[in-house]
Amino acid sequence: MTEQIKHLSAEAVMAPFVGRDHLTNRELFGQLALQLDLPESVLDSRAPVGKSGKECNLFERKVRWHQQTLKHLGVLERVDRGTWRLSGEAQKELTPAPKRSVLLAFSTDLGCALWASAEDVFSGLGEEITLAFTSPPYPLAKQRAYGNVDQTAYIDWLLPIMEPVVKSLRPGGSIVLNVGNDIFMPGSPARSLYVERLTLALHDSLGLHLMERFVWHNPTKPPGPVQWASIKRVHHNTAYEHVLWFTNDPELVLADNRRCLQEHTEKHRRFVGSGGVKRYTRNTGGAYTLREGSFGAHTEGAIARNVLTIPHRCPDQQPARDFASANGLQAHPALMPVRLAEHFVRFLSEAGDLIVDPFGGWATTGRGAELNGRRWLVTERCREYLMAAAQRFRDAPGFYSPMECSNA
Ligand SMILES: C[S@@+](CC[C@H](N)C(=O)[O-])C[C@H]1O[C@@H](n2cnc3c(N)ncnc32)[C@H](O)[C@@H]1O
């Protein structure tokens, strides 16, 4: 069998059905041949198969074999003889990964995005993780299109997914969770304590140590909570979310703030240029003493503060936004900016380390890792998010996407 037929994947066979009512086998064979750029010799290659030794077209046989697998997984259904379409489930706006199936969505030389539930990937990883940077679905009262559980079920849902990730963490590795702050008790302006409960559960059940509760200050966060700030007027508008940082071993923690220094302000540069502190000063309470010349030495950059101010929209998302809008797909409703991911990637890992995100979305964590020379693995349950996410990696060395039916 030729190599091209051998490597024809189920994802490639499924891709031409997206956006089509149905396809006859003739149309499907034609599209695959075109998109995979298969020469006629491959399309026509025949050989005796099975016990009967009957001559068969190997390309068509392989496509039919994948059709049966996709039917078994509930992705394709037969309309009539020789005509297939995406099944009712798969035609919904967001296509969930079939149960217990792990399919490659796209990859680069450094990493890959899998169309799969996190539950089906991380227990069999067999590689040490340096950092898991992720934003799980928040326990919102109003469901997002991709689904989420409410605050009462949240910890029982999240912990089993995170457990295999924590088990694969190398000593001193980190788990960083971006979690929503704007979760309220039902019908009440009192905030949920789920973040506190989650923190305790990660410590008590998974043995993680809390290193920091970072604040992600988002200056462009839309006003809210509307009910409590705009209507009842008992709250301020919110402008931040939590980023909780845990490690399995605080003594060995693989962190280095020199990898994520921030640019000095112009004012600071002038201060250093003029020699630093001008005269001895002692705070009356003894809190600090400043000697002449203190802070006069040039440094590479400022140590970042634990409040990170980054707007949520970023230009890096644009190729995915353009693709989603051109193809009638939903834009992902809960994106983080790549600068946030990059900050933690640099702070908590070195080039070549493995970074993962079980709740991949538009693969922002993968992108942050890719841009900084780290290896990466993300899993995402909804196929359409991955199709858009792939557009962010098109220029990355080794980009390959079987979902698009082409070796771009
Ligand atoms: C808050 S979003 C993450 C967005 C991401 N940080 C980004 O910037 O693109 C959470 C994502 O987790 C996905 N998801 C939920 N449960 C999942 C599971 N069990 N396995 C894999 N993905 C899951 C949802 O489809 C959603 O896209």
Residues 47 and 153 in one domain: no
Number of domains observed in the structure of the chain: 2
Q: Which residues line ligand 1 (CB under 6 A)?
A: 117-119, 135, 137, 146, 161, 332, 334-336, 358-359, 361-362, 364, 379-382, 385
Residues 86 and 133 in one domain: no
146, 154, 385: residue to mutate for ligand 1 pocket, most atoms within 8 A of CB: 146
Longest dimension (CA), the chain: 97
Q: Is residue 127 part of a domain?
A: yes
* Residue keyed to tokens 């802070």: 295
- In this predicted structure, what is the pLDDT of residue 407? 36
The pick from 93, 99, 117, 381 for probing ligand 1's pocket by mutation, whose C-beta has the most ligand atoms within 8 angstroms, reads: 381
Give the per-residue pLDDT at 260.
Answer: 96
Instruction: List the beta bridge partners of residue 88.
Output: none
Calculate how far, in angstroms, residue 276's C-alpha sits from the geometric centre of ligand 1: 47
Atom of ligand 1 nearest to the CA of 146: 25
83-86 and 289-290 beta bridge pairing? unpaired
Q: Do 120 and 85 belong to one domain? A: no
Tell me the H-state helices in 7-50: 10-14, 25-35, 40-43
For residues 212 and 86, state if they share a domain.
Answer: no
If you write DSSP's letter for every residue of 145-189 in order, what string do you get?
Answer: TT----TTTHHHHHHHHHHHHHHTEEEEEEEEEEE-S--B-TTSS
Same domain, 201 and 349: yes
First to last CA, the chain: 23
Gap from CA of 264 to ligand 1 centroid (Å) = 35
CATH number, residue 162: 3.40.50.150
HEC-encoded secondary structure of 78-90: EEECCEEEECHHH
User: Ligand 1 centroid to 108 CA: how many Å?
Assistant: 20
What distances in angstroms separate CA 343 from CA 197, 243, 256, 336, 353, one per listed residue? 26, 12, 11, 12, 15
Domain shared by 179 and 63, yes or no: no
**Pocket of ligand 1, candidates 318, 345, 380: which has the most ligand atoms within 8 Å of its Cβ, to mutate?**
380
Q: Are residues 117 and 58 in the same domain?
A: no
Strands 240-247 and 169-179, by their bridges, are antiparallel
For the whole model, what pTM was predicted? 0.78
- pLDDT at residue 19, as a whole number: 61
What tokens appear for 371 in the block?
């841009």
Place of tokens 């399919």: 103
Encoding tokens for residue 150?
């409410």
Q: Which residue has the tokens 């919110």?
A: 238
pLDDT at 212: 98
In a domain, 268, yes or no: no
Q: Which atom of ligand 1 is nearest to the CA of 134?
A: 6
Query: End of a domain among 91, 116, 134?
Result: 91
Spans of the chain below 70 pLDDT: 1, 18-19, 88-92, 142-143, 145-146, 405-408
Q: How far, in Å, is the centroid of ligand 1 from the Cα of 360?
A: 5
98: in domain = no
Q: Radius of gyration of the chain from Cα atoms?
A: 26
On whether both 115 and 224 belong to a single domain, the answer is: yes
DSSP secondary structure string for all residues of 115-139: ES-GGGTGGG--S-EEEEEE-PPP-
324 lies in the same domain as 202: yes
Shared domain for 148 and 15, answered yes or no, is: no
**Bond into 164 cis (ω within 30):** no
Residue-wise pLDDT for 37-61, tens only, equals 788 877 888 888 888 888 888 889 9
Residue 97 lies in a domain: no
Q: How far is the CA of 152 from the centre of ligand 1 (A)?
A: 19
- Inter-helix orientation angle 338-348/364-371, to 10°: 60
Assess whether 120 and 213 both reside in one domain: yes
Ligand 1 atom nearest residue 357's Cα: 6
Dist. CA 59 → ligand 1 center (Å)? 36
Please report the pLDDT score of residue 408 as a whole number.
35
Residue owning the nearest CA to atom 25 of ligand 1: 146
Q: Which residue range is the domain that position 16 belongs to? A: 3-91
